[in-house]
Amino acid sequence: MVKGKSIKGLVKKFGEELERQNYSYTNISGFNKMARNILKFADEKGVKSYSVDFGQKFINERYPKTYRVPLLSELSYENQRAIRTIKMFNDLYIHGVIIRKRHAFSQSGLDKNDRLLLAEFGKHIQQDKSISSVMRLSSDAKLFIRFLNTKQISLNEIEENNITDYLMSSATSSKSLLAARQYSLKIFLKYLYSTGCHKNDLSEKFDTVRIPKHPRIPSVWNPDDVVKILNAVDRGSPLGKRDYAILMLVVRLGLRISDVKALQLSEINWAENRIELIQSKTKQLLSLPLLPDVGWAIIEYLKYGRPETNVPQVFLTVTPPIREISLSSSMANIVTKYANIAGVSLRPDMKHGMHSLRHSLASRLLEAKTPLPIISEVLGHYSPHEVDVYLKVDIEQLRCCALNPEEVFTYA
């Protein structure tokens, strides 16, 4: 154990260690902010040296856990961040390094039968759902089971009022999140009925929130800003080579990030310069030309950035244990990270995830007067009508729909 470690020095070392271990830009910012809170707390208490007891005192006074919250995962995001930061501080204080832990899919509050049921439910919905949908539906089912467990209600005892109470707990969430939770619950309740876990089909006992299809205008980037983001990537490091290749696949080919993460080496046909894969969302074959700049970005990563391994996926983690990128991991931070480095302003009303880059490609294709069916084919839409949403950002074509006020008033 490190003796006499000053809190100020530990905070500085903490930031350096996060950088060394290639934590994401978003995580580094969040953890460093919490580290500054710890330093401020120490100044208020007149404490100069760190200790495990001091770390616990910080949590107890600034982020107390009440008896009403039985599970760590049910704490607010800020509370979870504080607890995790202190654990990392303790690692640094005791071992001199931050010990990265691989966080498995949390099963807190579930017994063996619950976990088995969720596994069987996941297998059942895999038949006609994408991988991302299976993960979301399973996660929502887990939330519902944990809710029942806190009320000491078994699955065969579920009543309509229990469903109402659960949905009311999500009532303060966004309308889209509430609609998604209701949809997940309907599927799970129907599964319970079909397998005999409940004698009634409770999925028919409540109505879901209706969300209009494509109610919002898609977020698109200025083409110059996209170029700035790509140029901001440090292509001299393995992480930069990986991130650049990922960004190029989304920016130039419009691949969904779920398909980028699942992309396998065998799905790149170098002889014919094509990428051919089965899309995770639509289950349909997608065949796209491997554009030269995209191909060279992938080659540079494969030759000089990708660790040697038998993992079939193209893109891997950069820190041990080396493995494929989890399908549940969000990669929105990549865009935000390089946008900040490039000095590109992020509007609060605009989404900054990978999907926004996909929207931007569709917008550019529209500006180039590319027919909608071709855009739909490039983006791998299940239905050609899904591309209609991008008409909302085709400014030039929308101008053609504008009415002349003088003509309107003439015939009024």
Residues 184 and 186: their CA atoms lie apart, in Å, by: 5
Cis ω for the linkage preceding 321 (within 30 of 0):
yes
Nearest 5°: phi and psi at 109? 80, 10
Residue 20 designated active-site = no
List the catalytic residue out of 57, 100, 115, 355: 355
Task: Return the exposure string of 119-133: e unless at least 16 CB atoms fall within 10 Å of the residue's CB, then b.
Answer: eebeebbeeebbbbb
Q: Are 354 and 330 in contact (CB under 8 A)?
A: no
Residue 256 designated active-site = yes
Amino acid of residue 217? I
Q: Count Cβ atoms below 10 Å from residue 260 Cβ, excluding itself.
A: 22
Residue 199 designated active-site = no
Residue 281 designated active-site = yes
Q: Count Cβ atoms below 10 Å from residue 77 Cβ, excluding itself.
A: 8
Nearest 5°: phi and psi at 274? -140, 150
Residues 128 and 150: their CA atoms lie apart, in Å, by: 32
Nearest 5°: phi and psi at 241? -60, -40
DSSP letter string, 123-150: HHHTTTS-HHHHHHHHHHHHHHHHHHHH
Going along 281-339, which residue ranges are E strands?
A: 285-289
List the catalytic residue out of 281, 351, 364, 392: 281
List the catalytic residue out of 81, 337, 358, 359: 358
* 150, two tokens: 């806190």
Task: Report the run of H or E that residue 166 belongs to, with start and end.
Answer: helix 160-168
Task: Return the exposure string of 3-30: e unless at least 16 CB atoms fall within 10 Å of the residue's CB, then b.
Answer: eebebeebbebbeebbeeeebbbeebbb
List the catalytic residue out of 146, 256, 337, 352: 256
Nearest 5°: phi and psi at 382? -70, -40
3-state secondary structure of 159: coil
Give Cα separations from 107 to 33, 153, 347 (angstroms). Answer: 29, 18, 37
Residue 306 designated active-site = no
Which residues form the catalytic set? 256, 281, 355, 358, 381, 390
